[in-house]
Structure 1
Amino acid sequence: PQYQALFRGREILGKPFLEALPEFCDQPFAGLIRAVMETGVPYVGREELARHASQLGGPLENHYYDFTYVRLEDDEGGTLGVYNHAVDVTDRVRARRESEKAAAALQASVIDLEQERDLREKFVAALTHDLRTPITSAKLMAQLLERNANSPENARKAQRITASMDRADGMIRDLLDASRIKAGLSLNLKPQQCDITEVAQSTVNELTLIYGNRFLFTSPGPVRGVWDATAIRRILENLATNAIKYGAGDRPIHINVSGTMDELALSSQNEGTSIPAEAQRDLFQLFRRSDTAEAGKQEGWGIGLSLVHGLAKAHGGNVGVISGPEQGTTFWVKLRALPTTLTAAPLA
Structure 2
Amino acid sequence: MSEKVKLTAKEKSELWIEGIVTVILLLMLNFALLVLINQMIAHNPGLENAIWGVKTNLTFGRGGFHLWSWSNLFLTMMAIADVIVVYWRLARRYRQMQMRHVIAELHYIADGHLDHRIKFEVNTELQKVVSSINALVDSTVNSMAEERRIEQSKDELITNVSHDIRTPLTSIIGYLGLIEDHQYRSDEELLKYTHTAYLKAKQMKVLVEDLFEYTKVKSTTTKLNPVRFNMIAMLEQLAASFELEAHKKHMRILVSGEPNPLMMEADTEKLGRVFNNLIVNALKYGQGGRHIFLDAQRIGSEVVVKVSNDGAQIPNDSLNQLFDRFYRVEESRSQETGGTGLGLAIAQSIIALHGGYIYADSSPELTSFVIHLPLKVGASLTDKPKHSNEEAGKSK
Which category describes the TM-score, using the shorter chain as reference length?
A: 0.3 to 0.5
* Higher helix fraction (1 or 2): 2
TM-score by length of 2: 0.41
